Amino acid sequence: MTDGWEVAGRRFTSRLIVGTGKYRDFEQNAAAVEASGAEIVTVAVRRVNISDPSQPLLTDHIDPKRYTYLPNTAGCFTADEAIRTLRLAREAGGWDLVKLEVLGEARTLYPDMRETLKATEILVKEGFLPMVYCVDDPIAAKQLEEAGAVAIMPLGAPIGSGLGIQNRVTIRLIVEGATVPVLVDAGVGTASDASVAMELGCDGVLMNTAIAEAKDPVRMARAMKLAVESGRLAYLAGRMGQRRYADPSSPLAGLI
């Protein structure tokens, strides 16, 4: 059984999207991406280093022909900054599938939903296909979808916190209400967190720090690949109901 998913008409097999930040070096980064099985990687857009233009580039280590680059707007605190960044990203890579995030404050990196919604509307008018980082709010998610977001990406917990999915109820409500893919973006700390997201019915999970800051990032990348797959399988299989008390698995009849 091939269990793929689709965003904006593009089909992918892996439901894990990984970031490319915080790694020790490009070699480790490339090995972790490989081990994760991810087909999409997020990247940031930054000024070139003019004082040392010979420095190695991400594109030399993680091949944009093999992996779908998903340019982000990390570090942008207004719709205008985010749109400007993505226009440059589109020119640099030719990609219209992008990750929009408009941050509200540095301490929590919580999204500013007013600016996020505004940016989504403008980007859609300009022909972008924005996958949008957002709060875990089913109403905000619906508004983003109406504005043309091609995927809804609620946080599970603050970016880089590794605290895991804090509110399973809201994530589930977003999944139930959405007609576009829903991916948990941010907050995953370890493999079981990724499984939880998938068991809630999410279409995928996006993570960076959980892999990059693991003691062994390559091994954790593989753990995440398996966790996303097993969480998805468990969701499709349909979990058993929960009981308040025990129910024996062995027959009671025929006891000696």
Partner 1 sequence: MIQDGTLSIRVNGEHRRVRAGMTVAELALELGLEPAKVAVERNLEIVPRSTLGHVMVEDGDEFEIVTFVGGG
Residue closer to partner 1 (CB basis): 26 or 235: 26
| Coil, helix or strand at residue 197 | helix
CB of 93 to partner 1, least distance (A): 7
CB of 197 to partner 1, least distance (A): 16
- Amino acid in position 158: P
Query: Cβ neighbours of residue 252 under 8 Å, at least 6 residues apart?
Result: none
Helix 79-93 with 113-125: angle, nearest 10 deg:
40
| Coil, helix or strand at residue 201 | coil
Residue closer to partner 1 (CB basis): 128 or 147: 128
CA pair distance 206, 74, nearest whole angstrom = 14
- Binding pattern for the stretch 31-50 against partner 1, x by CB under 8 A and - elsewhere: -----------xxxxxxx-x
Residue closer to partner 1 (CB basis): 93 or 138: 93
- Amino acid in position 136: D
Considering only residues 137 through 176, tell me which ones interact with partner 1, judged by CB under 8 A.
159-160
Residue closer to partner 1 (CB basis): 45 or 147: 45
CA pair distance 116, 148, nearest whole angstrom = 12
Stretch that binds partner 1, among 82-90, 119-127, 150-158, 169-177 (CB under 8 A): 82-90
Distance of CA 131 to the CA centre of its chain: 9
Strand duo 10-12 + 5-7: pairing: antiparallel
106 binds partner 1 (CB under 8 A): no
State the catalytic residues.
Answer: 99
Considering only residues 13 through 32, tell me which ones interact with partner 1, judged by CB under 8 A.
19-23, 29
Residues near partner 1 (CB under 8 A) are: 19-23, 29, 42-48, 50, 53-54, 57-59, 64, 69, 71-72, 74, 84, 87-89, 91-93, 159-160, 206-209
